[in-house]
Structure 1
């Protein structure tokens, strides 16, 4: 990063000096008796010429840039020093703009790396000690003060606060956090002191995972950029042919040189990379890592989006969605008894029950005689009552109404839910229903994809009844269930038919094969596994699923921007080449036309990085 900043500063200095030389030349002021345009020729043209020759020698092929030194030399021979200096200056500016746009594309992610604190307050031996964050281990208890950046990923143990997550999620408002809530490294504690347990440290933290992904961003991997360079090369060859023809017909070498000045491919070669990098810059503001412009280009051709279910369209963790009470106990009383009994449980359903009780401010009581029956449930004494929770197998000898059993079976069959029966003092008191829940914006995202003419497909390893229920809630028309990882990959291959291209969106290890084999892929970066995020082309750092439809829109806007850049640049060149051929445009005037064309490309593309975004 430092070398890029230095390179950018050097280019800026060269641009300023070259511009000054051209301005003096335009005013007719010479330097020690020599046309001041030579400043631009020497500072901009010579380095570019050397770099072009070196690049062509290494790649052993003609590059579009070859036309620049040819034009520059011919202009110098004819005494058109201003035109020669302007052509060199434009190419230098084009290179400077690419560096500036690339830096802007990396800016949102680079800002995250600078936010990582160097030390953290760790509680050890009853004392708080400051240690380097590299020495933090999983399970350490940390204290985070108001105004400090959270050093690692973890869960709040004690305290309530507000956290500024804008650097990770783009959210403008702080998010309230309390005991049991997850916090992410790199986000800012705004309100009060809290203690937390470290869960993901070092290279496993969200911050460091983003850093690793950021290092892979490289817009020049996009085939469309290479294609644009090839087009520019052929355009340069065509320019030479036209210039020779103009000279052969008119016998005027100045007209031929003017044609070359106007024809120089600076603006054309900038049309694609500036638009792609501006699109990547736009996405980086919302916590989205696009590994290369290749991904954006391919995404614009996608006609089908295939989704994993658990952790992608749903939150990937159980929530209490319903309670069925029997006898004298109310809903809140049953939850209070059951949650109190589960306080020492490590089971996901037990944790989900406790989380629900905390969110609803349901008071809990102390429990004793806690016993876990592996695979079946738990039992404990709460306020003098013997409470038992678990599967029907744990309820031997207990009279559970047939209607309750049928209803719990229906929850499992129709909604893919898990039901836990509750006994109080040996008597059936009701059952609790747990299920994975849809992400907040999932349905909105699917509807938006339909508007963009993208067909949605659900690929899941879950049973068909659960998959169909979720698909029905989201209005996804095509469902494939009971799929193993290899089955998902094979199904993707079947969906890739004719002109149809598929984007795979997933989060887990079981999606990695599908993500890797898909035409283009997205992974949920927060909940997602390392294997999934490393297999995907695009990573949604905060798991916000509505960003899927945003990315489709972004890719389409980028491609439209590229097409508009190319069309307008070619149109400008065409008309002014005609003027040059008829002797109505001088080489100096042609160079000014050229810079106007290049500036249009830059401004047209840069608008994409800021003027549009996530709703």
Structure 2
């Protein structure tokens, strides 16, 4: 697991707090519990105060803060430290889940092309992709990422569009075909006219889509927040009535602690963000929590292409030839010069690099195949 600097500090505070609580319990030394109260309780108090002052937001933090303070007042410092530590663990797990999702977003951002080759007045110049304007003529060489969306005006090529579509087989492109930012030009060089600036490109829209993903818009999360507010009010009322009836502060504090809705508030957004983060890990991008929730009621899924379902690596399953060994040797020799997925499948099937024949005058014809001379 990789943690950010902030997460490492939080984790260290939780570990120290847990150790202090265990030591306090075993050695019966109450003041050790103050370590947990200070390290884990102060952040809770701060978030509670910020929510009340800036948004007048009554949530679980308020009830937890009062439960901690009340426990200290009646001398139950260990209970106060225990509450603070448990809430800190829940908060840390939620933060870590969200940071993992943000990490996937950064991977998408890193795929954004940074430079472009612009042709102006017959001369080539390297510029930042962010400086490309609509109507600029760009040159894209084999192996380069396409800087922004545009239309091919000269040349032929095959482009890996799996970043955007999930389709692993390269797509052949020729003049007047559209090309998209962040996709990879595999074979031929071409010139293109830009139709969108970098910030409006298909890849940037994809990144913004994932960045907008949030657990808060899921109905289950909104309901959890709503019920958490009700729980706070009910707990306060019950605690006050209990004290007025019994005049025992310990009973009132017990009600506040037991009513604490930490599981309700922390579990729902954490589960949603964990789902979004794990799906992104496997190349499945989800816009928001509501979409995840909707999947629970889905009976059928329709996919527009095989590349989203298959491994994306073609395999030979049968050979029809009077002399399959000779044919496959010549075919594998020729295709060994190509990087196309189907060519790789043929070479992999032959699986004998030592017997490959020498190929001369190898030529790749975009969208049509390859040619070469053997013997």
Secondary structure of the 1:36 match is helix
Q: How does 1:275-314 map to 2 (within 5 A)?
A: 275-282=271-278, 284=280, 286=283, 288=285, 290=287, 292-294=288-290, 296-297=292-293
Secondary structure of the 1:123 match is strand
Q: Confirm whether residue 39 of structure 1 aligns to residue 35 of structure 2.
A: yes
Determine if contact 2:105/2:210 at 8 Å carries over to the other structure: yes
Determine if contact 1:29/1:35 at 8 Å carries over to the other structure: no
Secondary structure of the 1:148 match is coil
Instruction: Give the superposition deviation at 1:197.
Output: 0.8
Structure-1 residue corresponding to 2:163: 167
Which TM-score applies when normalising by structure 2? 0.63
Q: 1:103 aligns with which of 95, 99, 105?
A: 99
Q: How does 1:32-71 map to 2 (within 5 A)?
A: 35-60=31-56, 62-71=58-67
Deviations 1:392-415 (A, max 9, x none): xxxxxxxxxxxxxxxxxxxxxxxx
Q: 1:235 aligns with which of 213, 231, 235?
A: 231
Deviations 1:567-593 (A, max 9, x none): xxxxxxxxxxxxxxxxxxxxxxxxxxx
Instruction: Give the superposition deviation at 1:46.
Output: 1.9
Determine if contact 1:22/1:40 at 8 Å carries over to the other structure: yes
Structure-2 residue corresponding to 1:198: 193
Q: Distance between the aligned counterparts of 1:133 and 1:177, measured in 2? A: 24
Inter-CA distance 112–223: structure 2 relative to 1 (3 Å threshold): same
Inter-CA distance 22–78: structure 2 relative to 1 (3 Å threshold): farther
Structure-2 residue corresponding to 1:208: 204
Q: How does 1:466-485 map to 2 (within 5 A)?
A: none
Q: Quick check: which one's strand share is greater?
A: 1
Deviations 1:406-429 (A, max 9, x none): xxxxxxxxxxxxxxxxxxxxxxxx
Instruction: Give the superposition deviation at 1:301.
Output: 7.0
Instruction: Give the superposition deviation at 1:247.
Output: 8.1
Q: How does 1:491-570 map to 2 (within 5 A)?
A: none
Determine if contact 1:152/1:198 at 8 Å carries over to the other structure: no
Q: How does 1:322-471 map to 2 (within 5 A)?
A: none
Q: Confirm whether residue 88 of structure 1 aligns to residue 88 of structure 2.
A: no
Q: Distance between the aligned counterparts of 2:261 and 2:8, measured in 1? A: 21
Q: Distance between the aligned counterparts of 1:184 and 1:278, measured in 2? A: 30
Structure-2 residue corresponding to 1:220: 216
Structure-2 residue corresponding to 1:158: 155
Determine if contact 1:25/1:37 at 8 Å carries over to the other structure: yes
Q: Distance between the aligned counterparts of 1:34 and 1:117, measured in 2? A: 58
Secondary structure of the 1:201 match is coil
Q: Distance between the aligned counterparts of 1:43 and 1:170, measured in 2? A: 46
Determine if contact 1:109/1:210 at 8 Å carries over to the other structure: no
Secondary structure of the 2:192 match is strand
Inter-CA distance 100–72: structure 2 relative to 1 (3 Å threshold): same
Which TM-score applies when normalising by structure 1? 0.41
Determine if contact 2:21/2:36 at 8 Å carries over to the other structure: no
Deviations 1:325-381 (A, max 9, x none): xxxxxxxxxxxxxxxxxxxxxxxxxxxxxxxxx9679xxxxxxxxxxxxxxxxxxxx
Q: Confirm whether residue 18 of structure 1 aligns to residue 14 of structure 2.
A: yes
Q: Distance between the aligned counterparts of 1:252 and 1:213, measured in 2? A: 54
Structure-1 residue corresponding to 2:270: 274
**If you compute each CA radius of gyration, which structure gives the higher value, 1 or 2?**
1
Instruction: Give the superposition deviation at 1:161.
Output: 4.1
Q: Distance between the aligned counterparts of 2:21 and 2:367, measured in 1? A: 73
Q: Distance between the aligned counterparts of 1:110 and 1:154, measured in 2? A: 24
Q: 2:113 aligns with which of 89, 113, 117?
A: 117
Q: Distance between the aligned counterparts of 2:6 and 2:257, measured in 1? A: 26
Instruction: Give the superposition deviation at 1:120.
Output: 0.9
Q: Distance between the aligned counterparts of 1:234 and 1:255, measured in 2? A: 21
Q: Distance between the aligned counterparts of 2:194 and 2:242, measured in 1? A: 71
Instruction: Give the superposition deviation at 1:109.
Output: 3.8
Q: Distance between the aligned counterparts of 1:131 and 1:38, measured in 2? A: 58
| Structure 2, unpaired ranges of 5+ | 306-365, 370-375
Q: Distance between the aligned counterparts of 1:212 and 1:87, measured in 2? A: 38
Instruction: Give the superposition deviation at 1:133.
Output: 1.6
Secondary structure of the 1:27 match is helix
Inter-CA distance 170–134: structure 2 relative to 1 (3 Å threshold): same
Determine if contact 1:15/1:89 at 8 Å carries over to the other structure: no
Instruction: Please give the root-mean-square deviation of Cα atoms over the aligned residues, in Å.
Output: 4.2
Determine if contact 1:147/1:188 at 8 Å carries over to the other structure: yes
Structure-1 residue corresponding to 2:131: 135
Q: Distance between the aligned counterparts of 1:29 and 1:275, measured in 2? A: 32
Inter-CA distance 282–26: structure 2 relative to 1 (3 Å threshold): closer
| Structure 1, unpaired ranges of 5+ | 1-5, 306-311, 314-357, 362-615
Inter-CA distance 281–38: structure 2 relative to 1 (3 Å threshold): same
Inter-CA distance 34–256: structure 2 relative to 1 (3 Å threshold): closer
Structure-2 residue corresponding to 1:338: none
